[in-house]
Amino acid sequence: MGHSYEQSKKTAYKIISILGIMTISEVLFALAGKGHIMGGSLMMPGYVIAAVMIIMSIVKAYLIVYEFMHMKYEIPGLAKTVLLPLGLLIWAVVAFFYEGNDWKQRRNLIINKNNQTIETMATPQPQGAVKEIQTKKIH
Amino acid sequence: MAETLTHNHDEVDEKLWDGGAQPFKVSYGKLMMWYFLLSDAFTFAGFLIAYGTLRVSMPTWPVPDHVFSAFPGGLHHKPLYFVTLMTFILLFSSFTMVRAVQEGHRENKNGVVFWMILTIIGGLGFVGSQAWEWSTMIVEEHVGLTTNPFSAHTEAGIYLEGDGHDIKEGDTFVPGSPYLIHNHGGGFHHLKYKVTEGADSGLVKQQAFGPKQFGALFFFITGFHGFHVISGILFLIIICVNSATGLYVARKNGYEMVEKIGLYWHFVDLVWVFVFLVFYLV
């Protein structure tokens, strides 16, 4: 594999330390960002926390796949056939979150519509038509 | 090694795709493990994206730091402590797996078995922790597949009664404040509160159940991951026993089976990185 046993052993210790430190900082960042530690002095908006967490998770995923799973040492063709299809997920995330947000707005729209007061029609109508409506209502 | 590759490039290229050689320079088994993991990644991605979609579609959602704040020994208000511990157990078992594969490369049987046993212990520790987490949620907090007592307020208000735990009569809250509807001996006790702001100001309301999907999503997705861990442990045990009996010594391929289960085991850790992100951190 082009690298000695001693070398790869060293790398393994290095990567696990990085992953451990990253996990600790993720948790500390999440707790500080949401005001659970540091007395709430480091509170920040949810999207900032989410963005930092997503970036850190992707870096962790890279380290696991490239170092622990040895993707780094496979030939490029193998890496491409495994990693490129995952690009489809980018669109899946965008499309589904857009859709989910739309459901939320639609639900709010329905709630608003339900809360609207219904006004009776003020326009004068011929005798027959009114009767028809009334009989319909009785049924 | 790279030099020889470029040197022989033309003559190798012709033969590579005829089905005889190994085009990607890995064995059939390893390549297929990669493709299995790719398909599995799509399955997990589908579940996690479904979770995200439903979460953004709801006006309110349980707050992770509030939901996952119990710790063994009757401790509460320890946000994310336990799940961080679980993450470290799995991370550590991933490291011991790397070490097992490395010992395999240099055909060191005892090394492989030693590090694989540690990996199995790590896996069992993780599944055990998950069992504790699940039972706390089901037995103590009464989260079910379609019942979700965890939620967060969408308006500001003041409680008109206490629940004997964290909430006292007269406590105020703001939009986003989390709550758990307690259940003592059958029957949830929805606390009454008065809205202090907005269009409904002055109205008396009761704590509502949280989004129904939460329990099903949580148990199904973490359960599916746990099922992967359990299957992984079984295969680790089989391969560990095979290594110990010297089966792979005869094959002289650098303990390739250990490498394959290693790929799977790291993948389980990889999925946990994203489950951790989606369920606990964000």
Asked if the structure places residue A99 within a domain, the reply is no
| Tally of structural domains, chain A | 1
Of the candidates B219, B248, B13, the one whose C-alpha atom is nearest the C-alpha of residue B130 is: B219
Q: What angle do CA A46, A51, A53 make, to 5 degrees?
A: 95
Q: pLDDT tens for residues B206-252?
A: 999 999 999 999 999 999 999 999 999 999 999 999 999 999 998 88
Of the candidates B86, B90, B52, the one whose C-alpha atom is nearest the C-alpha of residue B70 is: B86
Give the pLDDT of residue B198: 85
Of the candidates A115, A133, A114, A113, the one whose C-alpha atom is nearest the C-alpha of residue A123 is: A133
In total, the C-beta contacts within 8 angstroms joining chain A to chain B are 128
Asked if the structure places residue A61 within a domain, the reply is yes
Q: Do B31 and A78 touch (CB under 8 A)?
A: yes
Q: pLDDT tens for residues B156-186?
A: 999 999 988 889 999 999 998 999 999 987 7
Asked if the structure places residue A121 within a domain, the reply is no
Does the structure show a pLDDT above 50 at A92? Answer: yes
Asked if the structure places residue A103 within a domain, the reply is no
Asked if the structure places residue A114 within a domain, the reply is no
Nearest-neighbour CA in chain A from B53: distance (Å) = 5
- Structural domain for A14, as ranges: 1-91
Q: Do A104 and B270 touch (CB under 8 A)?
A: no
Give the pLDDT of residue B13: 54
Q: B216 and B65 in contact (C-beta within 8 Å)?
A: no
Which two three-digit tokens encode residue B74?
Answer: 């009757």
Which two three-digit tokens encode residue A130?
Answer: 């009114």
What ipTM does this complex have? 0.86
Chain A residue with the nearest C-alpha to that of B2? A2
Asked if the structure places residue A137 within a domain, the reply is no
| A76 CB within 8 Å of a chain B CB | no
pLDDT-based confidence at A137, cuts 50/70/90? very low
Does the structure show a pLDDT above 90 at B268? Answer: yes
Nearest-neighbour CA in chain B from A113: distance (Å) = 15
d(CA B162, CA B179): 12
Question: Nearest Cβ partner of A68 from B37, B58, B94?
Answer: B94
* List of domains in chain B: 22-144+213-281 (1.20.120.80), 149-209 (no CATH)
- Model pTM? 0.87
Asked if the structure places residue A33 within a domain, the reply is yes
Residue B81, Ramachandran bin (φ over 0: left; ψ between -120 and 50: alpha; else beta):
alpha
Nearest-neighbour CA in chain A from B269: distance (Å) = 8
Quote the crossing angle between the two packed helices B109-135 and B256-275, to the nearest 10°: 30
Instruction: Taking residues B40-60, report their average pLDDT.
Output: 96
Asked if the structure places residue A84 within a domain, the reply is yes
SS3 assignment, position B24? coil
| A129 CB within 8 Å of a chain B CB | no
d(CA A42, CA A36): 10
